[in-house]
Amino acid sequence: MAEIGLFEAIYSARSLRRFKSDPVPDDVITKVLDAAIRAPSGSNQQSWEFVIVKDAAQRKKIGDVYRKGGGILMELYANRVKPAHMSEDAYRKLMASATYLIDHMADAPVLLLACLKQTAPTGAPPKLPPEIAAAMKSLARTSGSSIYPAVQNIILACRGLGLGTVLTTIHTFFEDEVKQILGLPPEVQTYALMPIGYPDGKFGPIKRRPVSEVAYLDKYGNHWNG
């Protein structure tokens, strides 16, 4: 298909959860993966690992786990208040789409799991001042910074190649089950489960809150008006 520009991809790569049954050629998936590994990672460790699931039986196993996670999610969302920026119709469509994927994850022709391998530090651990040791507690919160840029590249590459996808994480409610299905070693953790296929639906445009509402100049509350 004809290539599209970067900003066209950014502005139209909406989350898609319904896919045609058409297979995705391996060389196309390779292009998506090659885009993923162009992303930055912490200290250039490049400790990402990607598992591509095409086998129907394996997809069903992953889909069954995702369905269990979806049941938990729906309970958590039972009394969720609609975001102020969304209309009732838009919110209804979002929840319907999410519910559909909970029941149909295994129908996507390709499931891609983005993972990180935990790398052990070399040498004796340094003796850190208490305040530094306390500050390092944030490392768990920021660990995704070494994989989620690659995930975003996957999203944009899929859009550029005419594929749909969406970033999902609720399989991690049952991480151990997923790791057993995939044969992942203890040091490899999953960070995203992405169904990929030719979309049974349309790409963007994407609606977002305006920049002037979410960006600030110099100090929180001083809205950016550039």
Select from 207, 204, 198, 194 the least CA-distant residue to 4: 204
Select from 135, 156, 153, 181 the least CA-distant residue to 37: 153
Three-state DSSP state, 91: helix
Select from 175, 155, 171 the least CA-distant residue to 163: 155
Of 47-56, 74-83, 123-132, highest mean pLDDT:
47-56
pLDDT, average across residues 194-201? 96
Parse the chain into domains and list their residue ranges: 6-118+141-214
Predicted TM-score of the model (pTM): 0.90
Q: Name residue 194's beta-bridge partners.
A: 112
**Fold annotation for 6-118+141-214:** NADH Oxidase (3.40.109)
Q: 130 burial class (0-12, 13-18, 19+ CB within 10 angstroms)?
A: exposed
* Tens-digit pLDDT profile for residues 91-128: 899 999 999 999 999 999 999 999 999 876 555 566 77
Task: Look at residue 204 and tell me whether its pLDDT is greater than 90.
Answer: no
Find all residues with CB under 8 Å of 99, minimum gap 6, and list them. Answer: 70, 74
